[in-house]
Amino acid sequence: MVVLIVAIYACIELRGFYPKGSAIREAFKTWHYLLGLTAFALVWLRLLARLAGRVPPIVPSPPQWQLRVAHVVEFTIYVFVIVMPVLGWLSVSAEGKTISLFGLELPRLIGENKGIAKQLEDVHGLIGNIGYALIGVHALAALIHHYVQRDNTLRRMLPSRPGG
């Protein structure tokens, strides 16, 4: 998911280097949509896996306040990854456009309304900017746990390897 989220942000930031209407700018926007909707689909699979599986404990166990903060941040990240694609899809729908996801044309969620489209785009952008801070805090906390507290928090986030 982290690679996907980095790619989503990269696409929308890189498009700014190209003139409006250019093919490469439009390609970055298209990839931003595709990757965002892919993250939306995958977050549901991740939540199912999380609910079905057991989360390994943090060793050594951190103070309760840190666990509470971690749960709030984790919940906020899940909400972020669900809400952002929906806001983007609503915004594109309100612009009167459709999104093609791997050859499948997705339905418009709402009717065309340029005023609402602008408001949705503004909210999407604001939450996206807040996302930078959220991601930064999450990454910093993981590094503090790994290098300062010397617990297994960061290793728990990485894909597990057979025999390791």
Q: Kindly report, residue by residue over 49-108, the tens digit of the pLDDT.
A: 889 988 888 999 999 999 999 999 999 999 999 999 999 999 999 999 998 887 889 999
141's tokens:
């906390």
Give a yes or no: residue 98 inside a domain.
yes
Is 36 within the bounds of a domain? yes
Give the max Cα distance, the chain: 56
Residue 162 lies in a domain: no
Backbone angles phi, psi at 74, to 5 degrees: -60, -45
Residue 125 within a domain: yes
> Mean per-residue pLDDT for 28-55?
92
pLDDT digits (tens, 9 = 90+) for 116-146: 999 999 999 999 999 999 999 999 999 999 9
Distance CA 82, CA 102 (A): 20
* Residue with more model confidence, 32 or 103: 32
Is the pLDDT score of 164 beyond 70?
no
- Determine, yes or no, domain membership for 128: yes
d(CA 73, CA 66): 10
Bond preceding residue 60 cis, omega within 30 of 0: yes
In which band, very low, low, confident or very high, does the pLDDT at 161 lie, cut at 50, 70 and 90? low
Dihedral angle computed from the Cα positions of residues 11, 16, 21 and 23, in that order, rounded to the nearest 10 degrees: -40
Domain of 108, in residue numbers: 2-157
Among candidate residues 81, 15, 19, the one with its CA nearest the CA of residue 44: 81
Give the relative orientation of helices 2-14 and 114-147 as an angle to the nearest 10 degrees. Answer: 130
How many domains, the chain?
1
In a domain, 163, yes or no: no
CB 109 within 8 A of CB 146: no
Q: Is residue 164 part of a domain?
A: no
Q: What is the pLDDT at residue 53?
A: 84
Q: Does a structural domain hold residue 97?
A: yes
Reply yes or no on whether the pLDDT at 163 is more than 90. no
Block residue for tokens 């408001």: 119
> What confidence tens digit (pLDDT) does each residue in 95-113 have?
999 988 878 899 999 999 9
What is the rounded average pLDDT of the residues 35-45? 95
> Which phi-psi region, left, alpha or beta, contains residue 97 (left: φ > 0; alpha: ψ -120 to 50)?
beta
